[in-house]
Structure 1
Amino acid sequence: MVFDRLIHPFCICSFSLTVSRTKSESGVPEVPVPADDTPEVLNKALSGLSSRWKNWWVRGILTPAMISFFFIIIYLGPMVLMMIVLCIQIKCFHEIITIGYSVYHSYHLPWFRTLSWYFLLCVNYFFYGETVTDYFFTLVQREEPLRILSKYHRFISFALYLTGFCMFVLSLVKKHYRLQFYMFGWTHVTLLIVVTQSHLIIHNLFEGMIWFIVPISCVICNDIMAYMFGFFFGRTPLIKLSPKKTWEGFIGGFFATIVFGILLSYVMSGYRFFVCPVEFNNDSNSFTVDCKPSELFQLQDYGLPPVLQSITGWTIVKLYPFQIHSIALSAFASIMGPFGGFFASGFKRAFKIKDFANTIPGHGGIMDRFDCQYLMATFVNVYIASFIRGPNPSKVIQQLLALRPDQQLHIFNSLKAHLTEKGLLPLLEEAA
């Protein structure tokens, strides 16, 4: 058996490259297991309990603390939320890159960490520059340096990435080519998973804080309720990647999350602070969250199906249209969201680690808490683009201002003729 493994082509490559003495039986270098950083006070207070109940109490104590911190951040406003998302993104990137560095530390790969963080900087510069240009065009046009950076943003981003690419090629070392390209791919996949998804979270946030808070809260609710139902009623295993996940927890979490999403949406839809998009106000020279709520956040009458009428005795209920959309968000958080966690579990099993890090006692690393959130962020962004948002007026104006004067005049005359034909222009002139 040992002889067969040694002569296998993959193992020959692995053994020829490996100078580390620490390996697992499968040929994958082991990642050092982080020490238990549970506060000593909790360790002493829970010392008489089994590991199962100890983990229950640690999670039960720290979860409300994290939720309270989340509420405080929401109170501070969207710009603080954006900075928190950026910090979480950097921490998640650090946790994944550290795993790669820990696995292959003995190779002493030149510039691996430096290039990884450089590529993170380049990708963030590209994405955040695009976001600022799209959503805060008036601010960009007002400031000369920002206007120049916006005009040549993509070229600058490409030049920065090209510099990193050349640095990687120059850092290639004989006998380590395959491993260096492997780590190059590791870094880029990490960027794809972490940075791209956090960028989508920012886009969702600028559409209105409700598009940020409700999806994230649904994932948190599903995680908590699935754990609760699974802890007390779980008997049937759900998936081999996560042996502790059960069908009872999965189903209980689904229904609890649907109800939670509808109720939370009802409460938040009545406040402009949550439903209005983030905009830059030229008069006050600041970012504002104030608008006339769209029809999506105005109460409307909905007729109940005959079955529900016979049960409740109601024929009509008043709901915000967003509550209907919240059912789709809650369903995705309950059905597809956990697959982000399963993906992370498969990744951790591949490297024989329990958690990405030990940042949060009883919960693991930041990535352990946000593995489902990134998948959710993509769905929300696609959902908004497909069913909610129309063309972006700010972006249309940006493109118009970039045209030559004669082209702008042609578009103006065409738009004027169109509005006159529709009978809207005289009304606008009277209103003016």
Structure 2
Amino acid sequence: MNFRIMERDLQSPRSASNARARNRRKSTEAFPDVMKVNGSDLLVNDQNKYRSMWIRTYSSVWMLVGFILVVYLGHLYLWGMIVVIQILMASELFNLLRRAHEDRRLPGFRLLNWHFFFTAMLFVYGRILSQQIMHAVTPEKFFYNLATSFMKYQMVICYFLYITGFMWFILTLKAKMYKYQFSQYAWTHMILIVVFTQSSFTAANIFEGIFWFLLPASLIAINDVAAYFFGFFFGKTPLIKLSPKKTWEGFLGASVTTVISAFMLANVLGRFQWFTCPRRDLSTSWLQCDPGPIFTPEIFELPSGVSQQLPWKEISVLPVQWHALCLGLFASVIAPFGGFFASGFKRAFNIKDFGGSIPGHGGFTDRMDCQMVMAVFAYIYHQSFVIPQYYPVEILLEQILGSLNFEEQVLLLTKLKEIIDARQIQN
């Protein structure tokens, strides 16, 4: 009897500890609006909720100011910003599965990851910006021949750079480290496919015209801000389990706001040549171009019943505004699933954010999850439904002047003259 009492007394501290843990779990389950932040419980509806909102707003204002400055500087600086963001995102994701103990036993292993990253960067941007690279040099300069040779053998150069990294990886395999090394190898390639390749479409959009970069990026930001505020003040119904803070009220309110904003914002941005003209080189000079019919205003008369209630009888609409509605619909309905994917990914690895570079927002990867999905769609939509499906004379001339030397151009001119003369004789 005494032995049992002593045994129960010895176990009581542990039992009490387990009971306290169960009570804590029950209290957390009883109050689903409790969050864990730095080990302390915070109610979502207390003053910390508003403090978090102000921190997020403060960071957003500074990001907006910096973004406007880069847009003002032009295409080349925007591309540089995208490259910097890609490097920061890669750094966050490389560090996500990094284990310091294993890395100490594998000197140079992190350098191998960056080797693959910059090889992919050389390949993708070499293909996307080939036309701009050729226009950045002139036939009188030594760099023209260098750029021409690089563009001709770019795929070979990048392939052997990749093979070098592949052989480097095989030669550095160590016993009892195989699983870690192969998981890091697969993780690196996933980063290149999911992150780098998708976000590289952003650069293509920039050089097609800042409009095709700025409008989609702005719509994602508007949707994110609108969803945050609608959910903050009106959110009651959970939207998806992967993101407990997302609500149907926030989702629907943001969707309507984004579509309306797309139509109005396209009208504003579409009237500036700095936004609508494509950049065919890597300079930062002012742009002048024919905006084309898509950016030429069309006048629509309002119905008599509507015009009587308004101070104007007609409105000016840019045809690109109808395309903007499609972009706004995608940004509000489909693009948020990029954020849901990131939320599920973070839950799988039990982390709150990918990084802490931006106060109130997490890391750069947290901010770019929806942007990547949107950038790919904007590029595909522009190539499929906006640009003409034939090659204008100006584009053909640019290709001829950029890819053929003087002797080849003279030969082409001679052949064209022979063909035209032959057709004239037949007619």
**TM-score in terms of structure 2 length:** 0.79
Corresponding residue of 1:230: 231
Q: Give the structure 2 partner of residue 155 of structure 1.
A: 156
Please list the CA deviations of residues 214-244 of structure 1 after superposition, one character each: whole Å capped at 9, or x if unmatched.
1000000000001000111111111110010
Matched position secondary structure for 2:110: helix
What is the aligned partner in structure 1 of residue 67 from structure 2? 70
Residue in 1 aligned with 2:367?
369
Structure 1: any 5+ residue segments left out of the alignment? 1-34, 37-47, 424-432
Distance, in Å, in 2 between the alignment partners of 1:406 and 1:264 is 47
Q: In the alignment, what sits opposite 2:184?
A: 183
How many residues are aligned here? 372
Contact 2:301–2:313 under 8 Å retained in 1: yes
- Kept in 2, the 8 Å contact 1:401–1:408? The answer is no
Q: 2:102 maps to which residue?
A: 107
Query: 1:286, CA displacement in angstroms?
Result: 6.2
Change in CA separation of 1:168 and 1:255 when aligned onto 2, cut-off 3 Å = same
| Cα 1:417/1:340, change in 2 over 3 Å | farther
CA deviation digits over 1:231-276, x for unaligned, max 9?
1111111111001000110000011111111221111111111110
Residue 349 of structure 1 aligns to a residue in which SS? helix
C-alpha separation in 2, matches of 1:231 and 1:157: 48
Note the C-alpha offset of 1:357.
Answer: 0.6
* TM-score where L is the length of structure 1: 0.78
Q: Which residue of 1 aligns with 2:82?
A: 85
Which residue of structure 1 lines up, in the alignment, with residue 209 of structure 2? 208
Which residue of 1 is the match for residue 412 of structure 2?
Answer: 408
Cα distance in 1 for residues equivalent to 2:263 and 2:88: 32
| Structure 1 residue 304, shift from structure 2 partner | 6.4
Displacement after TM superposition at 1:398 (Å): 7.0
Distance in 2, Cα, partners of 1:158 & 1:141: 28
8 Å CA contact 1:140, 1:147 repeated in 2 = no
CA 325–262 in structure 1, closer or farther in 2 if over 3 Å, else same: same
Give the corresponding residue for 1:128.
Answer: 125
Deviation of 1:288 after TM superposition, in Å, equals 4.6
CA distance in 1, matches of 2:337, 2:183: 25
Give matches, 1:18-417, under 5 Å: 50-101=47-98, 104-108=99-103, 110=106, 111-140=108-137, 142=139, 143-280=144-281, 287-302=285-300, 317-389=315-387, 390-391=389-390, 393=395, 396-397=399-400, 401=404, 408=412, 412-413=416-417, 416=420
Distance 1:335 1:418 in 2: 56
CA distance in 1, matches of 2:309, 2:194: 46
The DSSP-based 3-state class of the residue aligned with 1:280 is: coil
- For 2:255 and 2:173, locate their aligned partners in 1 and report how far apart those are by CA, in whole Å: 49
Q: Report the Cα distance in structure 2 between the residues aligned to 1:352 and 1:88, rounded to whole angstroms.
A: 24
Is the CA contact 2:173–2:181 (under 8 Å) kept in the aligned structure 1?
A: yes
Residues 327 and 166 of structure 1: is their aligned pair in 2 closer, same or farther, counting only changes over 3 Å? same
Who is 2:6 aligned against?
Answer: none
Of the two, which has the highest radius of gyration? 2
- Consecutive unaligned residues in structure 2, runs of 5 or more: 1-36, 39-44
1:391 is displaced (CA, Å) by 4.9
Q: Is the 8 A contact 1:219 1:372 kept in 2?
A: yes
In 2, are the aligned partners of 1:209 and 1:277 still within 8 Å (CA)?
yes
| CA 1:405–1:290: 2 relative to 1, 3 Å | closer
